[in-house]
Amino acid sequence: MPKREQILKIASQKIRTVGYSNFSYADIAKEIGITKPSLHYYFASKEDLAIAICDLTENFWRTAFNKVLDNINVPTALAKLERLVNKNIKTLQKDEICGLVSFLNSYEAFPETLQKRITALVEFEYSLYLELIQKAVTEKELPNNIDVNQCTVELISIIKGSMIYRRADQHFDQMLPLLHNLFHYWRR
């Protein structure tokens, strides 16, 4: 694996397990077996590394979203939404949280350029879920009088909250039944 990819992989994993503020370039360099100046060759600063991780995350989400949308074996928008949520949850191990949540935990301490990139990633994730919920309304799986924006906020809140809480309590591993209940509630 090329060094740049190794750096991104290890940094992403550290963000999901210990948080952005709790690892250093020295930690990554040691784990890969390169010098800290070599690491700076690939990413001049930790902020540059974080922005690259945001880009990587967005590309991952875009790819996952498009695969789910294009999957003809998943016929409905709500089924596609559930598949997307499940796919994203399964990418995380029990001891991990969403990298975006980890970034948001330290958001105020970041330089403005990184804050803007994180904000764009939040908006991108929101737009993916919003699009599928809107599609469910268009396909008449959900009533046309529901507040699509509110439903998107509810869904993301359940997803992110469950990802955080499941680190300490196995009851939060049962997210998919919660989503079924949420979808049922939206149908009222």
Residue ranges of E strands in 65-166: none
Domain 47-187 CATH (choose: 3.40.50.800, 1.10.357.10, 1.20.1440.130, 1.20.200.10): 1.10.357.10
Whole-number Å distance between alpha carbons of 125 and 88: 11
What tens-digit pLDDT sequence spans the chain (188 residues)?
A: 899 999 999 999 999 889 998 999 999 999 999 999 999 999 999 999 999 999 999 998 899 889 888 888 888 998 888 888 877 777 666 678 888 989 998 899 999 999 999 999 999 999 999 999 999 999 999 999 999 999 999 989 888 887 777 777 666 566 667 666 777 677 76
Whole-number Å distance between alpha carbons of 178 and 100: 22
